[in-house]
């Protein structure tokens, strides 16, 4: 039996019995697909990260993307959950391709992120930008892996990031590898410099549309607007995920001692993660900026009218519509997100409402419930 077939047989043995008979084919009848009896799409972690195929983690500089992916690779190799998501790995092995770090710096980082030496042989690092597909073929023939991380896409692509046709052609090679060896391949990539203040979106990716289109899953990692140790993991595309996964971030707490992230179990609506664009110094202010001209008693009446039926607590998304209605006489007909954010900031700064840590980071409460 050839080396490739030996690896494929090891992978095949991990599949359910009904899928083994037709695994590693490129053509099927509809009946063969039907009798495979796939009731739930296989995932590597939880119900989110696919067990096979291409996906990407994107974000701006200094958000901790590489650290988060290194943690993911370590969790895979050690059979541990990732930010609370169950580990479904079959082989408990991962490969990390690093184009920016070297062995010395990675040694330092691994010693901080890994609690012990146990199972560390299950994670293989390669520091190169050359012939990555051939390298992966060679490595996966030797020993199958559940997860491959490539940090970073722009280094291994090395071409025009807006050339969607070339991007798709390049990614097709990796997609075939992911399918052939049944592994999950993640690319680290960047968002545009001017997207940091925008809401999470797949449109923030610094690349041609062909890059996003080829990914089964797109996750954007954003820094919190106020807490330097908080990050927001935002699923902005998931081909087979319900909308409940894609409307709010998963709030992660960064530990500067261990360089690891933990899931706080809080979620923040994407609307709250964007911020109004900065106005150039000396620029004329919008006509609705004078919320301070509204009498204090009127602010109290408006806030009371909004919060009275919600026990004094409301989510950000609920406030967006409710405050617009309450302040309609002063806000005018148009009450977009920028105007809403300006009003919300004013009410917080002037102690009419406050953002609270409980029952969740995305909640606000009325300081006083007296109209």
Residues 236-257 have pLDDT tens digits of 999 889 888 998 999 999 999 9
Calculate the alpha carbon distances from 165 to 53, 156, 336 in Å: 19, 16, 37
- DSSP, residue by residue, 33-75: HHHT---S--EEETTTEESSEEEEEEE-TTS-HHHHHHHHHHH
Average pLDDT over residues 20-28: 62
Average pLDDT (125-136) is 94
- Our CA angle for 316, 319, 323, nearest 5°, is 150
Instruction: Give this prediction's pTM.
Output: 0.73
Question: Which sign does the torsion angle of CA 157, 163, 169, 171 carry?
Answer: positive
Q: How far apart are CA 42 and CA 20, in angstroms?
A: 14
What are the pLDDT digits (tens) for 42-68?
899 999 999 999 999 999 988 999 999
Give yes or no for residue 166 having a pLDDT over 90: yes
What integer best gives the mean pLDDT of the chain?
Answer: 84
Q: How confident is the model at residue 345 (pLDDT cuts 50, 70, 90)?
A: confident
As annotated, the residues of the chain forming the CATH 3.40.50.300 domain(s) are 40-273
Q: Is the pLDDT of residue 2 over 70?
A: no
> Which tokens is 309 given?
């039926």
Q: 217's torsion region: left (phi>0), alpha (psi -120 to 50) or beta? A: beta
Q: Which CATH class is domain 40-273?
A: alpha beta
* Range 291-366: architecture per CATH: Orthogonal Bundle (1.10)
pLDDT band at 193; cut points 50, 70, 90: confident
Per the CB < 8 A criterion, the answer to whether 110 and 69 are in contact is no
With 60 as the cut, is the pLDDT of residue 289 above it? no
Instruction: Classify strands 123-127 and 147-151 as parallel, antiparallel or unpaired.
Output: unpaired
Q: DSSP assignment, residue 80?
A: -
CA 23 from chain center: how many Å? 30
Which residues make up the CATH 1.10.10.10 domain(s) of the chain? 291-366
């Amino acid at each position: 039996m050839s080396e490739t077939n030996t690896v494929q047989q090891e992978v095949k043995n991990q599949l359910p019995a009904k899928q083994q008979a037709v695994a590693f084919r490129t053509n099927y009848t509809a009946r063969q697909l039907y009798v495979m009896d796939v009731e739930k799409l296989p995932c590597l972690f939880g119900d989110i990260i696919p067990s096979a195929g291409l996906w990407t983690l994107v974000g701006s500089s200094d958000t901790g993307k590489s650290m988060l992916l290194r943690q993911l690779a370590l969790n895979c190799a050690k059979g541990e959950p990732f930010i609370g998501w169950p580990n479904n790995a079959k082989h408990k092995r991962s490969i990390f391709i690093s184009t920016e770090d070297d062995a010395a710096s990675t040694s330092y980082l691994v010693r901080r992120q890994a609690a012990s030496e146990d199972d560390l042989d299950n994670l293989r690092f390669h520091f190169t930008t050359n012939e990555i597909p051939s390298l992966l073929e060679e490595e996966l023939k030797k020993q199958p892996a559940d997860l491959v991380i490539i940090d970073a896409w722009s280094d291994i692509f090395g071409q025009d990031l807006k050339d969607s046709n070339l991007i798709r052609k390049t990614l097709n090679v990796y997609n075939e590898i992911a399918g052939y060896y049944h592994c999950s391949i993640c690319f680290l990539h960047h968002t545009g410099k001017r997207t940091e203040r925008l809401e999470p979106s797949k449109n923030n990716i610094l690349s041609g549309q062909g890059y996003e289109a080829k990914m089964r899953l797109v996750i954007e990692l954003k820094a919190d607007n106020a807490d330097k140790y908080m990050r927001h993991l935002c699923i902005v595309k998931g081909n087979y995920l319900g909308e409940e996964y894609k409307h709010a971030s998963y709030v992660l707490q960064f530990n500067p001692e261990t360089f690891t992230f933990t899931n706080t179990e809080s979620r923040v609506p994407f609307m709250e993660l964007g911020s109004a664009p900065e106005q150039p110094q000396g620029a004329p202010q919008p006509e609705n900026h004078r919320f301070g001209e509204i009498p204090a008693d009127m602010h109290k009446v408006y806030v009371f009218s909004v919060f009275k039926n919600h026990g004094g607590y409301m989510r950000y998304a609920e406030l967006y519509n409710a405050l617009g209605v309450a302040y309609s006489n002063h806000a005018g007909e148009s009450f977009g997100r920028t105007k809403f954010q300006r009003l919300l900031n004013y009410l917080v700064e002037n102690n009419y409402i406050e953002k609270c840590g409980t029952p969740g980071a995305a909640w606000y409460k009325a300081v006083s419930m007296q109209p």
